[in-house]
Amino acid sequence: MRLVYQPSDALQVRRWQLHFELVGESTLELAPDEFYLRFSRGALSLHRGGDDHSGIRMDGRETLRRLKGASALLKACGPPKGRTILDATAGLGTDLLLLHSKGFTVQGIERNAVLYALLDSYLQAEEINDVLLTLGDARDELASATAPVADVIYLDPMFPETGKTALPGKRMQYLRALLDEPTTAPDDLLALARARARDRVVLKRRRRDPVIGEPAWQVKGKSVRYDVYRTKSG
Protein backbone atom coordinates (compact mmCIF):
# COMPACT_ATOMS: atom_id res chain seq x y z
CA MET A 1 0.00 0.00 0.00
CA ARG A 2 1.12 3.55 -0.71
CA LEU A 3 1.53 6.28 1.88
CA VAL A 4 1.12 9.76 0.47
CA TYR A 5 2.90 12.70 2.07
CA GLN A 6 4.16 16.22 1.51
CA PRO A 7 7.94 16.83 1.29
CA SER A 8 7.83 18.78 4.56
CA ASP A 9 6.61 15.62 6.34
CA ALA A 10 9.36 13.31 5.03
CA LEU A 11 11.00 12.82 8.44
CA GLN A 12 7.73 12.03 10.18
CA VAL A 13 6.63 9.32 7.74
CA ARG A 14 10.00 7.60 7.75
CA ARG A 15 8.96 5.48 10.75
CA TRP A 16 6.57 3.54 8.46
CA GLN A 17 8.82 3.19 5.42
CA LEU A 18 9.39 -0.54 5.98
CA HIS A 19 5.66 -1.23 5.73
CA PHE A 20 4.46 1.04 2.90
CA GLU A 21 5.58 2.63 -0.34
CA LEU A 22 6.18 6.32 0.39
CA VAL A 23 4.83 8.48 -2.43
CA GLY A 24 4.95 12.25 -2.88
CA GLU A 25 1.59 13.98 -3.20
CA SER A 26 2.34 15.30 -6.69
CA THR A 27 2.91 11.81 -8.17
CA LEU A 28 -0.26 10.15 -6.87
CA GLU A 29 -2.39 8.26 -9.39
CA LEU A 30 -5.13 5.96 -8.10
CA ALA A 31 -7.37 3.16 -9.23
CA PRO A 32 -11.04 3.78 -8.25
CA ASP A 33 -11.09 1.32 -5.32
CA GLU A 34 -7.44 1.53 -4.29
CA PHE A 35 -6.69 1.97 -0.61
CA TYR A 36 -3.92 4.35 0.40
CA LEU A 37 -2.71 6.18 3.48
CA ARG A 38 -2.30 9.94 3.66
CA PHE A 39 -0.17 11.82 6.19
CA SER A 40 -1.45 15.32 6.79
CA ARG A 41 -1.46 17.72 9.74
CA GLY A 42 0.56 15.35 11.86
CA ALA A 43 -1.62 12.25 11.51
CA LEU A 44 -2.35 9.35 9.19
CA SER A 45 -5.71 8.68 7.59
CA LEU A 46 -6.93 5.84 5.38
CA HIS A 47 -8.62 6.56 2.05
CA ARG A 48 -10.07 4.68 -0.87
CA GLY A 49 -10.17 5.88 -4.44
CA GLY A 50 -11.47 9.43 -4.62
CA ASP A 51 -12.56 9.98 -1.00
CA ASP A 52 -9.65 12.33 -0.30
CA HIS A 53 -11.67 14.44 2.10
CA SER A 54 -13.60 11.70 3.91
CA GLY A 55 -11.25 8.89 4.84
CA ILE A 56 -11.02 7.35 8.29
CA ARG A 57 -8.51 7.94 11.05
CA MET A 58 -8.14 7.13 14.70
CA ASP A 59 -10.33 9.62 16.54
CA GLY A 60 -10.27 10.22 20.29
CA ARG A 61 -13.96 11.13 20.18
CA GLU A 62 -14.79 7.47 19.62
CA THR A 63 -13.05 6.62 22.88
CA LEU A 64 -14.98 9.35 24.69
CA ARG A 65 -18.23 8.03 23.26
CA ARG A 66 -17.41 4.51 24.41
CA LEU A 67 -16.68 5.69 27.95
CA LYS A 68 -20.41 6.10 28.57
CA GLY A 69 -21.04 2.40 28.05
CA ALA A 70 -17.77 0.97 29.30
CA SER A 71 -18.95 -0.42 32.63
CA ALA A 72 -19.29 -4.00 31.34
CA LEU A 73 -15.77 -4.04 29.86
CA LEU A 74 -14.25 -2.53 32.99
CA LYS A 75 -16.09 -5.00 35.20
CA ALA A 76 -14.84 -7.90 33.07
CA CYS A 77 -11.22 -6.70 33.27
CA GLY A 78 -11.24 -6.08 37.03
CA PRO A 79 -9.81 -3.21 39.06
CA PRO A 80 -7.20 -1.12 37.21
CA LYS A 81 -4.77 -0.36 40.03
CA GLY A 82 -1.44 -2.06 39.41
CA ARG A 83 -2.81 -4.27 36.63
CA THR A 84 -1.51 -4.73 33.11
CA ILE A 85 -3.62 -5.50 30.05
CA LEU A 86 -2.50 -6.82 26.68
CA ASP A 87 -4.96 -6.06 23.90
CA ALA A 88 -3.96 -8.87 21.54
CA THR A 89 -6.24 -7.70 18.70
CA ALA A 90 -5.81 -3.95 19.03
CA GLY A 91 -7.36 -2.82 15.74
CA LEU A 92 -7.82 0.95 15.82
CA GLY A 93 -7.26 0.93 19.56
CA THR A 94 -10.58 2.23 20.87
CA ASP A 95 -10.81 -0.23 23.76
CA LEU A 96 -7.06 -0.07 24.37
CA LEU A 97 -7.25 3.70 24.83
CA LEU A 98 -10.39 3.42 26.93
CA LEU A 99 -8.65 1.02 29.31
CA HIS A 100 -5.59 3.27 29.36
CA SER A 101 -7.77 6.25 30.31
CA LYS A 102 -9.14 4.26 33.26
CA GLY A 103 -5.70 3.64 34.75
CA PHE A 104 -4.65 0.29 33.36
CA THR A 105 -1.12 -0.20 32.09
CA VAL A 106 -1.81 -1.31 28.52
CA GLN A 107 0.03 -2.70 25.55
CA GLY A 108 -1.30 -3.79 22.19
CA ILE A 109 -0.59 -6.18 19.32
CA GLU A 110 -2.01 -5.62 15.83
CA ARG A 111 -1.25 -7.89 12.86
CA ASN A 112 -2.47 -5.56 10.10
CA ALA A 113 0.16 -2.97 9.16
CA VAL A 114 -2.42 -0.34 8.17
CA LEU A 115 -4.32 -0.50 11.44
CA TYR A 116 -1.05 -0.59 13.34
CA ALA A 117 0.16 2.56 11.56
CA LEU A 118 -3.11 4.44 12.12
CA LEU A 119 -3.00 3.70 15.84
CA ASP A 120 0.74 4.35 16.06
CA SER A 121 0.19 7.73 14.38
CA TYR A 122 -2.51 8.63 16.89
CA LEU A 123 -0.35 7.68 19.87
CA GLN A 124 2.46 9.82 18.48
CA ALA A 125 0.22 12.81 17.76
CA GLU A 126 -1.35 12.68 21.23
CA GLU A 127 2.03 12.08 22.89
CA ILE A 128 0.80 8.91 24.59
CA ASN A 129 4.20 7.44 25.33
CA ASP A 130 3.33 4.76 27.88
CA VAL A 131 1.51 2.39 25.50
CA LEU A 132 3.68 -0.29 23.91
CA LEU A 133 2.31 -1.16 20.47
CA THR A 134 3.65 -4.15 18.50
CA LEU A 135 3.10 -5.05 14.86
CA GLY A 136 2.70 -8.81 14.66
CA ASP A 137 0.37 -11.79 14.90
CA ALA A 138 -0.82 -12.35 18.47
CA ARG A 139 -0.56 -16.11 17.96
CA ASP A 140 3.15 -15.85 17.22
CA GLU A 141 3.79 -13.33 19.99
CA LEU A 142 1.99 -15.41 22.62
CA ALA A 143 3.42 -18.71 21.42
CA SER A 144 6.99 -17.37 21.66
CA ALA A 145 6.55 -16.02 25.18
CA THR A 146 7.95 -18.17 27.97
CA ALA A 147 6.23 -16.40 30.87
CA PRO A 148 2.96 -14.52 31.51
CA VAL A 149 2.84 -11.31 29.48
CA ALA A 150 0.08 -9.42 31.35
CA ASP A 151 -2.44 -9.76 34.14
CA VAL A 152 -5.30 -9.60 31.62
CA ILE A 153 -5.27 -10.50 27.92
CA TYR A 154 -8.13 -8.91 26.01
CA LEU A 155 -9.42 -10.39 22.73
CA ASP A 156 -11.72 -8.33 20.55
CA PRO A 157 -11.91 -10.06 17.15
CA MET A 158 -13.90 -8.32 14.46
CA PHE A 159 -17.44 -9.64 14.42
CA PRO A 160 -18.45 -11.51 11.25
CA GLU A 161 -21.05 -9.94 8.99
CA THR A 162 -24.65 -10.55 10.02
CA GLY A 163 -26.26 -10.70 6.58
CA LYS A 164 -28.40 -7.63 7.24
CA THR A 165 -29.19 -5.51 4.17
CA ALA A 166 -28.09 -2.18 5.69
CA LEU A 167 -24.45 -1.39 5.08
CA PRO A 168 -22.24 -0.78 8.11
CA GLY A 169 -20.54 2.58 8.56
CA LYS A 170 -17.53 3.57 6.49
CA ARG A 171 -15.09 2.65 9.25
CA MET A 172 -16.36 -0.94 9.42
CA GLN A 173 -16.61 -1.25 5.63
CA TYR A 174 -12.97 -0.25 5.30
CA LEU A 175 -11.83 -2.59 8.05
CA ARG A 176 -13.61 -5.57 6.53
CA ALA A 177 -12.21 -4.81 3.10
CA LEU A 178 -8.68 -4.48 4.48
CA LEU A 179 -8.57 -7.67 6.50
CA ASP A 180 -7.93 -10.63 4.26
CA GLU A 181 -9.13 -13.39 6.55
CA PRO A 182 -11.89 -13.93 9.11
CA THR A 183 -11.14 -12.50 12.54
CA THR A 184 -13.54 -14.53 14.61
CA ALA A 185 -11.96 -15.76 17.84
CA PRO A 186 -10.44 -19.20 17.20
CA ASP A 187 -9.90 -21.69 19.97
CA ASP A 188 -6.12 -21.68 19.49
CA LEU A 189 -5.77 -17.94 20.20
CA LEU A 190 -7.95 -18.26 23.29
CA ALA A 191 -5.88 -21.21 24.50
CA LEU A 192 -2.62 -19.32 23.95
CA ALA A 193 -3.99 -16.31 25.81
CA ARG A 194 -5.04 -18.42 28.77
CA ALA A 195 -1.52 -19.83 28.94
CA ARG A 196 0.08 -16.35 28.94
CA ALA A 197 -2.20 -14.30 31.21
CA ARG A 198 -1.53 -14.13 34.93
CA ASP A 199 -5.14 -13.64 35.98
CA ARG A 200 -7.74 -13.80 33.21
CA VAL A 201 -8.63 -13.59 29.53
CA VAL A 202 -11.53 -11.39 28.43
CA LEU A 203 -13.17 -12.23 25.10
CA LYS A 204 -15.61 -9.80 23.49
CA ARG A 205 -18.56 -11.38 21.69
CA ARG A 206 -21.93 -10.37 20.32
CA ARG A 207 -24.53 -10.91 23.01
CA ARG A 208 -26.10 -13.90 21.20
CA ASP A 209 -22.90 -15.46 19.82
CA PRO A 210 -22.20 -19.07 20.83
CA VAL A 211 -19.87 -19.58 23.75
CA ILE A 212 -16.33 -20.80 23.07
CA GLY A 213 -15.09 -23.24 25.69
CA GLU A 214 -16.16 -22.73 29.28
CA PRO A 215 -15.83 -19.17 30.56
CA ALA A 216 -15.74 -18.70 34.32
CA TRP A 217 -18.36 -15.96 34.06
CA GLN A 218 -19.90 -13.44 31.67
CA VAL A 219 -20.56 -9.72 31.80
CA LYS A 220 -23.35 -8.64 29.46
CA GLY A 221 -23.93 -5.26 27.85
CA LYS A 222 -26.79 -4.16 25.60
CA SER A 223 -25.43 -5.66 22.39
CA VAL A 224 -22.18 -7.39 23.38
CA ARG A 225 -20.95 -9.56 26.18
CA TYR A 226 -17.56 -10.26 27.70
CA ASP A 227 -16.70 -13.89 28.42
CA VAL A 228 -14.11 -14.13 31.18
CA TYR A 229 -11.76 -17.11 31.37
CA ARG A 230 -9.42 -17.95 34.17
CA THR A 231 -5.86 -18.79 33.26
CA LYS A 232 -4.88 -22.41 32.86
CA SER A 233 -2.87 -22.22 36.05
CA GLY A 234 -5.52 -20.32 37.96
Predicted pLDDT at 15: 93
Predicted pLDDT at 49: 77
- Mean pLDDT along residues 69-91: 91
Beta strands in 80-182, from DSSP E residues, in sequence order? 84-87, 105-110, 132-135, 150-155
- Mean pLDDT along residues 56-67: 72
Predicted pLDDT at 96: 93
Predicted pLDDT at 166: 45
Predicted pLDDT at 56: 82
Alpha-carbon distance 6 to 127, whole Å? 22
Alpha-carbon distance 104 to 83, whole Å? 6
pLDDT tops 50 at residue 165: no
Could you read off the pLDDT of 168-214 as tens digits, one per residue?
566 777 777 777 555 545 688 999 999 999 999 999 998 888 999 99
Predicted pLDDT at 234: 55
Q: Where are the domains positioned within the chain?
A: 2-48, 60-230
- How far CA 110 is from CA of 24, 40, 96, 155, in Å, comes to 27, 23, 11, 11
Parallel, antiparallel or unpaired: strands 132-135 and 2-5? unpaired
- At CA 40, angle to CA 35 and CA 44, rounded to 5? 50
- How far CA 105 is from CA of 80, 109, 134, 229, in Å, comes to 8, 14, 15, 20
Q: Supply the CATH classification number for the domain 60-230.
A: 3.40.50.150
Could you read off the pLDDT of 4-49 as tens digits, one per residue?
999 899 999 999 999 999 998 766 777 778 889 999 888 899 988 7
pLDDT band at 233 (very low <50, low <70, confident <90, very high): low
- Cβ pair 181, 199 in contact under 8 A: no
Give the global pTM: 0.88
pLDDT band at 161 (very low <50, low <70, confident <90, very high): low
Lowest-confidence segment of 112-116, 162-166, 197-201 by average pLDDT = 162-166
- Cβ pair 43, 57 in contact under 8 A: yes
pLDDT tops 70 at residue 77: yes
Alpha-carbon distance 182 to 157, whole Å? 9
